[in-house]
Structure 1
């Protein structure tokens, strides 16, 4: 069997994110998306590449290690697709304005401020689009969620919440080409990039895909993440269904949300995420490809949306969006929403926006150079990136190294245990080391490393590791 380029250069190298655009681009039923042993969707080669294969599968891959110069990074792609954006910042790319706020109607039933739902409904109402491609529940399936097409407000509302579960766009673009009309697509940064790459290759997709809604992402999770959380609620991994990742507590803060799922008797079991521990900063159950992404704010979307993890917004249990508009249509939707009192939104300075996603910028920009250097030292290729300088302190390098090891270990341990209690025991030492290193880094930020202060830090080091 002739080997497919995307399998050789991306999947086999641990850089596949599961977007599935290669399946449509390759054609000839060469590739099929399947779950890997660690719970990630990846393409598998089921037939030899046909004579018409020209490496199209690789050309639409967001982690292509050798892209053409005009699509080398998000910066080059933005020049093609975001010509309305006159402002530019190295951290967030091209943009028009930055905001914070929420939809007065959709906030309560959305994961964050409901601005994504409002925007998509507004696009349908204005007849700017005919269809929305977003993640929705799957009835009677172990997959739980998948990308599906909506054409009405009612259908759209079924996909109003965030799902931290592997999904793929494989096969969706075939429907895009079949149906008459314009489309909007919702996705995380790597998925949005793959859509733009597909539009670059195929003029039909460039014409029919009218609008992209980008969801700021903390990392793509394995199916193991949902299984682990279900087990933490007391539900057997083999029996849980309808996982719900962001159950809000209106009386508390934005970060004080719960996970819930149904057991075999259709009874919902829940657990507060603060009782589970840090699922994001540790790297648990995360895709390896995420460690080589430098797009924090979904730079190629028409509108980018995330959680406002800054005061005073994070104190509001119903959630608040941070917003980046990058096209005139996106900007007009926000402005008209403010004027009609359908949106409660205020302008947010660029500095405040970056502060709202500080963890993401620290990891994906400041720490990227270290991870790239480590990967290259192992003889592995890396896609072109814009933040390759390795300027971390020795302590921060240890922190990033521990996150990488915890990510890998969590997948191996869960595959073997499938039980939250046993998993927690086996992961405890590694997580404790990371926690202690993080504390030491906080001490180092507060104090200089000279004279008596250095002695104070060493006492703290000894105390932490005692």
Structure 2
């Protein structure tokens, strides 16, 4: 896997990998039409879940809450539960190591701010707390797992956990050694250029950035008021709210990986346990952060219940509808929006999806929103590349500001664009589009 000119990781190899079912690659790539889908993998690895939901997949329990002990909650992006569960697996001796994303030891030499690493003790593990909206890949840690006997846990977004499950299907030694998978809810993957763009807008260049915190926590602010902070090589810091950045509206799709337009898994349906942010009141206003959790493993459910009884964590059971409501926008994009995108002409190989192509239930406004998002994700890579080559950050920032204003006008009915969009959509609806 190598970073391309747009700052996205792509596999490097012969073209036959994509079409040859015997190459191995086509059976482990999570977006391959020849790979098993999430339903197949869940049936193989999670056959004993008690409930099933169309959007959540199989599950045994669903909760909302946070960690009470130590500073897990304070040091995490959300309620601290992801790092806590991984640490508990280490503490109980259920795993010998945890594969998760951490800061690069030397980002300027490595050329990447973050990477997957294998932690075998608590201090190393807790150094990897917080969300990283940055391209990473698993090959190095998977190779260590192949070569080093032991039991391991892997933390990852839905397509990464799916890839791990697919690798386990092909390699018995990997299946034997990966004991637990911890999934992270996902909206979409960003390219490396988003960090670079944020640096530009704070008056810095990425070459001078030593550390990058995408979600600096402030308990006195609502949890969904993201604030990014850069730590420079000279020790100084720069910080800015996402809402004051030209490309800081997550839903607009700036720097989205193109594969994410063809993903239908929001909640890591193939993972033993999955975690997200509780984007629903009163939790979204709590700046300390709160997790929503889907449990699919009885062993992990027992661990949570034991910790709950000991008051080490605070969890409340919730129903499936509550979990869906916390991720409503993501489900619209990944299911409703995907069904619409599948109706578009597409060159090359079409991924195997559980969603059927169709758009007859969509309003003209919803169709326009999905089209604009696709355009923003496509052009943000290219306009940023041009600005980068020309050493003119304002070229990209001006374009992004205009694109965001147009998107928000259509999506939220703001300003002149919003009024025109409403009129256009009303006319389109009357015309039967």
Q: Deviations over 1:280-332 (max 9, x none)?
A: 11010010100100001110111100100000101111110000001111211
Q: Find the counterpart in structure 1 of residue 102 from structure 2.
A: 136
Judge conservation of contact 1:249–1:256 (CA < 8 Å) in 2.
Answer: no
Do 1:248 and 1:256's aligned partners in 2 also have CA atoms closer than 8 Å?
no
Does the alignment pair 1:58 with 2:31?
no
- The CA distance in 1 between the partners of 2:79 and 2:165, in whole Å, is 26
Once the two structures are superposed, the pairs formed by residues 150-169 of structure 1 within 5 Å of their partners are 150-169=119-138
Please state whether the residue corresponding to 1:194 is helix, strand or coil. helix
Q: 1:237: how far off?
A: 2.9
TM-score (norm 2): 0.89
Q: Tell me the equivalent position of 1:302.
A: 272
Q: CA deviation at 1:437?
A: 1.6
Alignment of 1:115-134 (within 5 A): 115-134=81-100
**1:92 alignment partner in structure 2:** 56
Match of 2:67 among 80, 103, 107: 103
Residue matched to 1:281? 251
Q: 1:341 maps to which residue? A: 311
1:350 maps to which of 308, 320, 324: 320
Q: 1:257: Cα distance to partner?
A: 2.8
Matching of residue 417 in structure 1 with residue 387 in structure 2: yes
Q: CA–CA distance in 2 between the matches of 1:292 and 1:181?
A: 35
CA separation of 1:147 and 1:412: change in aligned 2, threshold 3 A: same
Quick one: distance in 1 between partners of 2:23 and 2:13? 14
Query: Residues 31-71 of structure 1, C-alpha deviation per residue, up to 9 Å, x if partnerless?
Result: xx21101001112128999xx9931111111001233xxx2
User: Does the residue aligned with 1:167 lie in a helix, a strand or coil?
Assistant: coil
Q: Unaligned 5+ residue runs, structure 2?
A: 415-421, 428-433
Contact 2:21 2:27 in 1 (8 A): no
Pair 1:435-2:405 in alignment: no
Q: Which of these residues, 181, 200, 215, is aligned with residue 246 of structure 1?
A: 215
Query: What is the CA–CA distance in structure 1 between the aligned matches of 2:260 and 2:77, rounded to whole Å?
Result: 22
Task: Write out aligned runs for 1:2-13 (5 A).
Answer: none
Question: Does the aligned pair in 1 maintain the 2:66–2:79 contact within 8 Å?
Answer: yes
Q: Secondary structure at the match of 1:44?
A: coil
1:211 aligns with 2:180: yes
What's the secondary structure of 1:127's corresponding residue?
coil
Partner of 2:241: 272
**Is the contact between residue 249 and residue 257 of structure 1 (CA under 8 Å) also seen in structure 2?**
no
Matched, 1:392 2:365: no
C-alpha distance in 2, partners of 1:353/1:187?
19
Q: Which moved more, 1:432-441 or 1:339-348?
A: 432-441
Distance 2:423 2:259 in 1: 36
Helix, strand or coil for the counterpart of 2:252?
A: coil
Shift of 1:366: 1.1
Q: Give the count of matched residue pairs.
A: 407
Shift of 1:274: 2.2
Q: CA separation in 1, counterparts of 2:29 and 2:138? A: 12
Give 1:363's match in structure 2, choosing from 333, 342, 345: 333
Distance 1:111 1:440 in 2: 31
**TM-score (normalised: structure 1):** 0.83
Residue 417 of structure 2 corresponds to none
Shift of 1:428: 3.2
1:313-332 mapped onto 2 (5 Å cutoff)? 313-332=283-302
Match of 1:77 in 2: 41
Q: Is the 8 A contact 1:440 1:460 kept in 2?
A: no
Asked if residue 174 in structure 1 is aligned to residue 147 in structure 2, the reply is no
**Partner SS for 2:129:** coil
